[in-house]
Chain A
Amino acid sequence: MANLEQPAVLSSAFPIDYRKKRTVGSVLRTMARLGRRNKLGAFGVVLVVVILGVAIFSPIVQRYGDTQRFETANPDFNPTANPLDIAANPEKQLGSPTILTRYADPFTGDHWLGTDQFGRDIYARIVVGARLAVIIGIGASLIAVVAGTVVGIISGYFGGKLDLMLQRFVDSIQAFPGLVLLMLIVSIMDEPNLALTVAALGFLGFASSVRIVRSAVLSVSQMSYVEAARSYGARDVRIMARHVLPNIVAPVLVIFSISIGLYILAEASLSFLGLGPQDKTTWGKMVNAGRQAVDVHPWESVFSGAAITLTVLAFNLAGDALRDELDPRLRGR
């Protein structure tokens, strides 16, 4: 019984033998070996590390506040200026004590990526946006995966009417176009904030997580060690926790890693549509704000769009690499 209750097949699923004590050197050597075997995946992992680093250390690397305005004193300021004169000399901004440093070009002066229409540093905003993107991506993915795993295991393990009901519920969620459902969830709430956005994205991802986990559970449930545990009288909860869950960790990890990029993209879409967190700097909002002048001053949209693209690409590549390594059939291809 003791042997039967050991987590099974981990050793065959993971290329790394967890039973051995590993050193930093051995981990690095393993990663280097994996990197040589899957260069694109390694590139993704490196990018993910960089993005996570930027997100974690954003207060250090952002240089300026994301809402800090840059401005210079206006030598023509006249607090009693006639509106007629203001209109006749629009460039002098006679009624303004300062002139915002709007639309500064990138790669020059103090602003590496230029400034936006309100005189804010685009680089600083992208760095702060990275933190938000990572929080949203990982947060939503965690919610989706944890909830999806719990429901997927229950559904797949027990089967029968419970499975039928749970799967129809999942069907009903998946029947709606994802973005439409997301917009619906966010718009019926009083105000889109960070927590709500994360929860809504997690809810949306929950359905597909349930599907994948259930499929894996259906397969694992038929394994002899599960049958053996049942025959020894182990309770369902124990079987699910000790025998089923450990054997579906691989697909769960893959779902988790791959969907982070998707959630970041979905959040950017929401923010672009004005349904994201209103009080936060997000890349989607930056793309939207920048598009008003995209042909004249393209940098805000271009850089924030590039940040979204790179991040989604990085998590997708890393997720793909993880899947390849965890699936013996794909390993080495």
Chain B
Amino acid sequence: MTRSNYWTRRLTSAQLSRRRFVGGAAVTGVGAAALGLVGCGDDDDGEATATTAPGGSPTAPGATATPAQQAVDGGILRSIWLGGSQFDSTDTHRGFRDETYWLSNYVLNKIIRYSNPDTGDVEADLAEKWETPDSQTYTFTIRKDVKWQNTSLTNGRALTSKDIKWHIERQRDAKLVDGTAVPFRFQSDYTGVTVETPDDYTVKLKLPAPNGAFLTRMAAYFATVPNRETVEKYEKTYNTLTEEAMPATGAFTIKKWRANEDVYVQKNPQNFRKGEPHFDGMILPVGLFADPTAARLAFEQKQIDAWASPDASVTKSILDAHKDSMYEVLTGVANTVFLHLNMNNQFKDVRLVRAMNMAVDRRLMISTFHQGLGAVSGPVTWLQEGFAVKPEDLIKYPGYRTDRQLEIKEARELWTAGGGPALGDVDIRVTDTWLGPYPDTNQIMIKMFNEALGVTQFKSTKCTYNDDIIPNLANGKFPNWMSWTSQVNSPDPRNDLLNTFNSKGSGNFQKVNNADLDKLTNDAILTSDLTKARDLTQQAQKIILDNGHFGNVVLYNYISRAAYWNYLHGNFKTNPSAGKAAAGYNIFSGHLVAKNSYLDPKDPSYGDTVKNRSL
């Protein structure tokens, strides 16, 4: 949620030359590449710009949680940190839902990782260092102390450069062992990438062209490196959850993995990051997500340690009633709320999509579902401020204007011109995971669209990601649906735009084929000049906005208000202080939980319920 003025200054005044980028990265290694690439973080100009945390407390940029030396080891966390409960894959290469990726960040590692996801600073993970001798070559030196969890398939062997080579080539080729071609969600990130392994601990990547955002993809939450032997053994049953299907290299190993119920993870004694995690284990009762009332009761009874009601006013009432034993955490939710309209099917005419983009009342939805805690987002969300269309410009685009009557008038004209009334029933489906916390959404959708377009043809039914959406993405038969969809995975949106809107993008399920957009998204990736990258991204967004987002209608990102018991020290960007709320990372930071989070048994709120937990 932090809106660093630094971003704006950086993008408007500083231009990082390619020479500087290459040299900086090569010399300073860890962290410098990200600095060059996304132009943020605590950089070399010595600025100590204060930014304001969501709770209103000024903090230093990139402030981290309580220093590690104060952390207390031991205890078992119970929390709903995995969101919904519908895992679709044990194979991190083939997942289309975020839950598997989130879990994998407790269990697996990436080549590099974000030290501060919101700013884009990166640090070593499986790679202890890296060099970029030229803008298309990355040489990673892999740690020698990383071992796979000891299973009958891994035999506790060391992770080597061959694991990284397989990890990249498998996604690039998007083929199973038997040669079957299957959809890999991030295939286009690796198109044309070649991998060499001069020795067991060196990986040399050669990109087909410069990619200014490549390292941010390596550090994103979905870039965890799984074990080859295990993934290949479970290739045919990759959507059947078993603990053995994801052997660890990271902070935790999976002890129990039950669909719709819970996940148990326990401390990995072989974790190469000594002293982490602080927890002995974590119990993640994912099933509670669908029942906010049960979650709340569990929180009040300390069966879970942190909780956020879908109704922020309810969370506030609980916080107010327990001022001495709880604290507030405000976090921008990276899981963006989308309206998807299938342009392969009912919404082939772009006028219909444009009409819907105006008919949907984003601000009303924020007000209705989140009590005003949130802001509208363009194709690049407000969480990625450096590349997003500025709010003062965004409100001039259809769908974002404040004159609701004008939006409705134009929406109706387009709906009629595009043959909307002849479509018959239009079903805007809502995922079951959304309907858990927001159970009356169907009625609200029906009313909103029927009233805005002056028709009675809209209906709204329930759907699921696993049955209705994911299996039908590649074949273009997915339903029209509204829910959380895309997890913002880095401050740099370029790859996501390319993935979704470029005709060669592996996430281009709407089959967008726009030559200008192809060129802009390609060029934006190629450059390491941030100002140019931003300009190209802005131009691409203009095309996307003018075309009703091509059916991938970004609605908004909201702000979560959570309550934490005082005994839980969370994984925060800014810790709570003097009655001020803590600020969580907006962008996924699960990989930092092992480092930053712990339970404090000396806190008065700590009790036997927490103490007596066992895995």
Contact = CB atoms under 8 A, between A and B. Distances in A.
B206 interface: no
Nearest to A193: B461
Contacts of A289: 439-440
24 contacts: A79-B363, A79-B391, A79-B402, A80-B395, A83-B3, A84-B2, A86-B372, A86-B374, A90-B561, A94-B372, A95-B374, A96-B364, A96-B372, A119-B368, A274-B436, A274-B439, A278-B442, A278-B461, A279-B443, A280-B443, A289-B439, A292-B292, A292-B314, A296-B317
Nearest to A100: B367
A67 B442 CA distance: 11
Interface string A96-124: 11111011000000000000011100000
Nearest to B581: A87
Interface residues of B, number: 55
Contacts of A119: 368
Given A97-B363, A98-B367, A99-B372, A293 B382 contact: no
Interface of A: 67, 69, 71, 79-84, 86-88, 90, 92-100, 102-103, 117-119, 190-191, 274, 278-281, 285, 288-289, 291-294, 296
Given A95-B363, A278-B462, A279-B460, A82 B3 contact: yes
Contacts of A190: 461
B3 A93 contact: no
Nearest to A279: B442
Nearest to B317: A296
Interface of B: 1-3, 52, 54-56, 292-293, 296, 309-314, 316-317, 330, 332, 363-364, 366-368, 371-376, 382, 391-392, 395, 402, 404, 432, 435-436, 439-440, 442-444, 446-447, 459-462, 557, 559, 561, 581
B461 A87 contact: no
A45 B446 CA distance: 37
B1 A87 contact: yes
Contact of A99 (B54, B330, B367, B376): B367
Contact of A90 (B1, B372, B439): B372
Nearest to A281: B443
**SS class, residues of chain A in contact with chain B:** loop
Nearest to B448: A67
A291 B392 CA distance: 40
A292 B392 CA distance: 36
Contacts of B364: 96, 98
B199 to A, nearest CB: 47
Given A95-B372, A191-B461, A288-B439, A79 B395 contact: yes
Given A278-B462, A292-B311, A84 B363 contact: no
A262 B511 CA distance: 51
A28 B447 CA distance: 45
Contact of A80 (B310, B392, B460, B561): B392
A84 B366 contact: no
Contacts of A67: 443-444, 446-447
Contact of B559 (A86, A99, A191, A274): A86
Nearest to A116: B440
Contact of A96 (B55, B316, B366): B366
B395 A292 contact: no
Contacts of A92: 372
Contacts of A93: 367, 371-373
Nearest to A103: B313
A220 to B, nearest CB: 46
B368 A69 contact: yes
Contacts of B402: 79, 97
A293 B2 CA distance: 30
Contacts of B440: 118, 285, 289
Contact of A87 (B54, B296, B313, B446): B54
Contacts of A80: 391-392, 395
B392 A83 contact: no
Contacts of A87: 1, 54-55, 330, 332, 373, 559, 581
A278 B375 contact: no
Contact of A279 (B2, B432, B446): B446
Contacts of B371: 90, 93, 102
B454 to A, nearest CB: 16
Contacts of B459: 279
Contacts of A296: 313-314, 317
Contacts of B296: 292
A88 B314 contact: no
Contacts of B2: 84
A190 B317 CA distance: 38
A206 B366 CA distance: 45
Contact of A86 (B375, B443, B446): B375
Contacts of A293: 309, 311, 313-314, 317
| Max chain B C-beta neighbours (<10 A), residue from A92, A97, A281, A294 | A97
For the complex of A and B, 10 pairs with smallest distance between CB atoms: A93-B372, A87-B54, A80-B391, A96-B367, A278-B442, A191-B461, A96-B372, A88-B56, A67-B447, A83-B375
Given A83-B559, A274-B435, A292-B293, 20 more contacts: A67-B443, A71-B367, A84-B1, A87-B54, A87-B581, A90-B372, A93-B372, A93-B373, A98-B367, A102-B371, A118-B368, A119-B368, A274-B432, A274-B439, A278-B435, A278-B443, A279-B443, A289-B439, A292-B314, A294-B293
Nearest to A191: B461
A117 B312 CA distance: 11
Given A95-B366, A96-B367, A278-B460, A86 B444 contact: no
B3 A84 contact: yes
Contacts of B310: 292
A188 to B, nearest CB: 12
A151 B444 CA distance: 42
Nearest to B400: A79
A100 B368 contact: yes
Nearest to A296: B317
Contacts of A288: 439
A67 B347 CA distance: 27
Contacts of B559: 83, 86-87, 90
A90 B367 contact: no
B311 A117 contact: yes
B562 to A, nearest CB: 12
A289 B395 CA distance: 33
A288 B557 CA distance: 26
A86 B311 contact: no
Nearest to B395: A79
Nearest to B392: A80
A124 B66 CA distance: 51
A194 to B, nearest CB: 12
A82 B51 CA distance: 13
A83 B293 contact: no
A98 B310 CA distance: 20
Contact of B332 (A71, A83, A103): A83
A182 to B, nearest CB: 17
A75 B299 CA distance: 36
A293 B364 CA distance: 21
Nearest to B583: A87
Contacts of B375: 81, 83, 86, 95
A315 B114 CA distance: 63
Contacts of B293: 291-292, 294
B388 to A, nearest CB: 11
B447 to A, nearest CB: 5
A296 to B, nearest CB: 5
| Max chain A C-beta neighbours (<10 A), residue from B332, B373, B459, B462 | B373
Contacts of B312: 90
A97 B403 CA distance: 10
